[in-house]
Amino acid sequence: MSSAKRLALGLGLAAFLAVPLSSCATPPPEDDPEALAAYEETNDPLEPFNRAVFEFNRYFDSFVLKPIAVGYRTIVPEFFRERVHTGLQTAAAPVVFANDLLQGKLERAGITFGRTLVNLVLGAGIFDAATDIGLEYHDEDFGQTLAVWGVDEGAYLMVPVIGPTTLRDGAGMVADIFIDPWTYIFDTDKEVLYARAGLTAADTRERNLETIENLEKTSVDFYAAIRSLYRQHRDDAIRDGELPPVPPVPGARPSVSGDVNPELGPAPEEMAASADD
């Protein structure tokens, strides 16, 4: 695909995403600061539209993605699935490396470079020898780079087939395609790129079979659970695993004595006020 075509595709996608603006969630009135704060925290102005796409994605998942992942696990032994996983990591290393550098994280760039080199030499790119010598894998992408540069995450978006993202991360995903050298190497053999995308999807979904199933089973609002997990997961990736400042959590009873009296909650106003900080 030429760059012009790719650009047109991107614009088309953007237009498609912009169309359902009519189905926006209604912001709460200005005089309800708590509701307003909650609305801003959720930052999901397209929620009704996003929920519709989410339902579509769940169908798509149950009829296409999940069966592929289950089949992949059934047919391919774990040993070979591990080789695929490491192979995909090796292939994705240039993008991680570039984003390490773009974020000014030289040490992490060194780790990415080192582990890829070690795995290529000692493991043909499909055996992870680097982890054993302390060169552990980490992920970086242009969405994270934008965040490090100070770009806000923007509204939450549920993209058909692809899944949860935000304006910033969606833009990052497109940018990563341009950063990726394979895009240019296989410019005339697109099948290779599609095969890699397919394998990545199968690999990721297979590794999360139990997690997603348990989450679906135990959440009272699967859409909201995914939205919260996606945000926190991205924040964790952006902070490279550093814990965020913990929110104030008021105690539900006086902590002065060991004597527990469930009747004694905190003053409700006080609790709610700090809970929404």
Partner 1 sequence: MTRVLSALARGAGAVLLLGFIAAPGFARAETPESFVQTLGNRAIEILQTKEETTFSEREQKFRTLLLDGFDMLTISQFVLGRYARTLSEQELKDYQTLFIDFVVRVYAVRFDAYSGETFKVDRVLDRVDNDVIIRALIERIGGQPPVRTDWRVRVSDSGTMKIIDVYVEGISMLNTQRQEFAAVIEQRGIQGLMDEMHARLAQDISQSDAQTAVQ
Query: Which residues contribute to the site for partner 1 (CB under 8 A)?
Result: 34, 38, 41-42, 70, 73-74, 78, 131, 136-137, 209-211, 213-215, 217-221, 223-225, 227-229, 232-233, 235-236, 239, 241, 243-244, 246-247, 249-253, 255-258, 262-263, 265-266, 268-269, 271-272, 275-276
Q: Cβ 277 to partner 1, closest distance in Å? A: 11
- Least distance (Å) between residue 3 CB and partner 1: 36
Q: In terms of CB distance, is 106 or 274 closer to partner 1?
A: 274
Q: How far is the CB of 256 from partner 1 (least distance, A)?
A: 6
Q: Which is nearer to partner 1, 15 or 243 (CB)?
A: 243
Closest CB 35 distance from partner 1, rounded Å? 8
CB of 227 to partner 1, least distance (A): 7
Q: How many CA atoms lie within 13 A of 158 on its CB side?
A: 21
**How far apart (Å, rounded) are the C-alpha atoms in residues 259 and 206?**
48
Cβ contact 69:210 at 8 Å: no
Measured distance CA(92)–CA(132) in Å, rounded: 20
Nearer to partner 1, 187 or 221 (CB): 221
Token pair of 87 as six digits:
């192979």
Q: What angle do CA 182, 187, 191 make, to 5 degrees?
A: 85
Hey, what are 223's tokens?
């859409």
For 36-68, give one letter per residue: b (16+ CB within 10 A) or e.
eeebeebbbbbbebbbebbeebeeebeeebbeb
Beta carbon nearer to partner 1, 79 or 184: 79
By the 8 A CB rule, do 96 and 140 touch? yes
Q: Which is nearer to partner 1, 40 or 189 (CB)?
A: 40
Alpha-carbon separation of residue 148 from 37, 62, 111, 247, 253 (angstroms): 24, 35, 19, 22, 40
At closest approach, how far in Å is the CB of 168 from partner 1? 18
Q: Which of 76, 158, 82 is nearest to 123 (CA)?
A: 82
We find the least distance from the C-beta atom of residue 59 to partner 1, in angstroms, to be: 16
Q: How far is 140 from 241, CA to CA, in rounded Å?
A: 12
CB of 183 to partner 1, least distance (A): 28
Nearer to partner 1, 137 or 142 (CB): 137
Q: In terms of Cα–Cα distance, which of 160, 153, 162 is closest to 233?
A: 153
Q: Among 95, 159, 178, 89, which residue's Cα sits nearest to residue 130?
A: 89
CB-nearer residue toward partner 1: 18 or 243: 243
189 versus 276: smaller Cβ distance to partner 1: 276
